[in-house]
Amino acid sequence: MLIKVLGSGCTNCKKLEENTRKAVEALGLDATIEKVTDFKDIMSYGVMKTPALVVDEKVKIMGRVPTAEEIKKYL
């Protein structure tokens, strides 16, 4: 599973990455988590508001920071 956290590196982006790592660990998934900070790459997903969570190349969440529990539903 490939998970991408899209964002500039702001506080909310870091929190989304942290919550994503917690969710992956809690579920015991074999997943790769990548941070994407290049705005051109972020725009290629159609994301206009960060942070965003992409799972296997599909945008699942954008513009907010979900809890680890909520992220589990998307994984």
Residues with active-site annotation: 10, 13
Residue 54: φ, ψ to 5°: -120, 125
Question: How far is the C-alpha of 36 from the C-alpha of 59, rounded, in Å?
Answer: 13
29: closest CA among 74, 68, 75?
A: 75
Q: How many residues does the chain have?
A: 75
